[in-house]
Structure 1
Amino acid sequence: MTRSASSEVSAVELARAREGDDDAFARIVEPYRRELQVHCYRMLGSVHDAEDALQDALVRAWRSLGGFEERSSVRAWLYKISTNVCLTAIERRGRRALPVDFGSAGAGSPLDPPATEIDWLEPFPDVLVEDGRAAPHARYEQREGVELAFVAALQHLPGNQRAALVLFEVLGFSAREIADVMETSTASVNSALQRARRIIDEKVPERSQQQTLRALGDAKLGELVGKYADALERRDTSAILALLTEDATWSMPPLTSWFRGAEQISGFLARGPHRVTWKHVPTRANGQLAVGCYIRSEETGRYEGKVLDVLTLDGERIAAVTAFIDPSLFAAFELPESLPAE
């Protein structure tokens, strides 16, 4: 793996950091902080866990800097520490899920209590993800590597396979470099990659959201988000259904209930979203269209941030709405906690 000269670590800075200079260490790791956070998210499926893992990794890097022998780049060394922090977290926590992983469509109600005992997949702010591919031989673009379908599929892999696939197919590390990161053999890495690819190919759609978004263009995407928000704010079921594919799904973690098709989604809208008053703010999550959803407070008249809807497109229509009911996500997306009363 190579980086531009502007990102190379100078021997002077490295020496200062080894002598205990906090500022020098901060300058060394800062160019890599954002990509390491994205890496931790791909591994863990949680924006909150990714931030915790990154902080843990940086503390470990600071403490072990004296033992860094410069046989690899600082970047590769930081990825090794971050990956191993994530592997430990995966062993402890297991995989994160979406409602479609539980039961059949139409079971349950939007009024059911949240399943807080389940570790739910979380969305990730698109602004933190770089464009393009991290390396020429990477199979996936960096934004393809954070799309909901891709991150959800990663959750079905054991930690070692997850790490190998992300490092090779998304970040462009070689099998030899991955073997060093994971302290194993190149043969083991290649075997893990082979098994991981089978699962990913089964679960990830052939056409990525990045391909779909580029084909539609910014003007069409803006129009689609505007129509979606307007239809919800007007409680217009027919207008909402017109935007969806025939077999579209609607899910709302941390609720286990989810719905498929016009009949189920119409019933869900009547029992849930159409019972409150909404405002929406467009954003981007996981390389996809998204909107921050605000519910009008009867007490104050203000609109309080409650839900982040991530939209998965199939051509010009919405194939899935994943509505993350978690106000704590708004800060990560730099969305206001509330909007003023009209």
Structure 2
Amino acid sequence: MDNHEMEQVIKGVRAGDIDQFGMIIDAMQKPLFVYCYHMLGHRQEAEDAVQEVFLKAFERLDSYRETVSFSAWMYKIAYHHCLNLLSRAKLNRVVTFLRAGIQTVSRHEGEKRVEAEEYVSNPLHVALTKLSAKERNLLILRVVEDRSYEELALLLDTKPATLRKQYERALKKCKSTMIVMEGGDRHDAISEVR
């Protein structure tokens, strides 16, 4: 569905034809799932997050303005929702460790242990988890969702040149982590990130 068609559907939903929101779901469900999965790292959490993002979008549809594309607006809702989930998950992991009697372990050490146990397999996935949520968001939107710097600038309220530098730093950080993890060839790690 192109932007013009999406805008027509939005007008229909705003006019009271709620059934047309299903067309928005059909168009956005898969890309939002991929985004949420990369942000959260778990299939079930991503599926739940996508449903909550659609609910929030439906509830806030009157606040949408055509200054940015509808998909960018949806990604912004998804980004903030995923940030909230990540913050809660981190707090829950620390509390769980403290309740389990690991009170002699510092909070930082407890987080490291949980993360080490949780993300052992895929080097790219592990490298992404080492990035901040903001860095991960930028990489996912730029690489996976193929968003331009200009669209990202509107979405993230930042200058394109600033985003380009942030992207380059995040990509370098991700590549470095993968190289260290694989203990091997720099070219293999770089090609997997691209």
TM-score exceeds 0.5? yes
1:145-160 equivalence runs, <5 A? 148-160=122-134
Whole-angstrom CA distance in 2 between matches of 1:161 and 1:118 = 21
How far does residue 122 in structure 1 lie from its aligned partner after superposition? 9.7
CA deviation map 1:166-214 (0-9, x unaligned) = 1112222122322332333434423321221122111336437x98xxx
1:17 aligned residue: 13
Q: Does 1:170 align with 2:144?
A: yes
TM-score with structure 1 setting the length: 0.42
Q: Percent identity?
A: 28
Whole-angstrom CA distance in 1 between matches of 2:175 and 2:51 = 32
Change in Cα spacing, 1:87 to 1:183, as seen in structure 2 (3 Å) is: farther
Are the counterparts in 2 of residues 18 and 65 from structure 1 also a CA contact under 8 Å?
yes
CA deviation map 1:11-40 (0-9, x unaligned) = 2x2222113433111112311101110110
Runs of 5+ unmatched residues, structure 2: 92-112, 180-186
Runs of 5+ unmatched residues, structure 1: 96-116, 124-147, 212-342
Structure with more strand by fraction: 1
Residue type matched to 1:43 in 2? M
Q: Does 1:77 align with 2:77?
A: no
Change in Cα spacing, 1:182 to 1:10, as seen in structure 2 (3 Å) is: closer
TM-score with structure 2 setting the length: 0.70
Whole-angstrom CA distance in 2 between matches of 1:187 and 1:94 = 32
Larger Rg: 1
Structure with more helix by fraction: 2
Task: Choose the corresponding residue for 1:41, options 25, 29, 37.
Answer: 37
How far does residue 157 in structure 1 lie from its aligned partner after superposition? 0.5
Change in Cα spacing, 1:89 to 1:191, as seen in structure 2 (3 Å) is: farther
TM superposition outliers: structure 1 runs of 4+ over 6 Å? none
What count of residue pairs does the alignment treat as equivalent? 161
CA deviation map 1:233-270 (0-9, x unaligned) = xxxxxxxxxxxxxxxxxxxxxxxxxxxxxxxxxxxxxx
Q: Does 1:179 align with 2:146?
A: no
Q: Does 1:52 align with 2:48?
A: yes
Task: Choose the corresponding residue for 2:188, options 207, 213, 235.
Answer: 207
Change in Cα spacing, 1:62 to 1:197, as seen in structure 2 (3 Å) is: same
Are the counterparts in 1 of residues 120 and 126 from structure 2 also a CA contact under 8 Å?
no
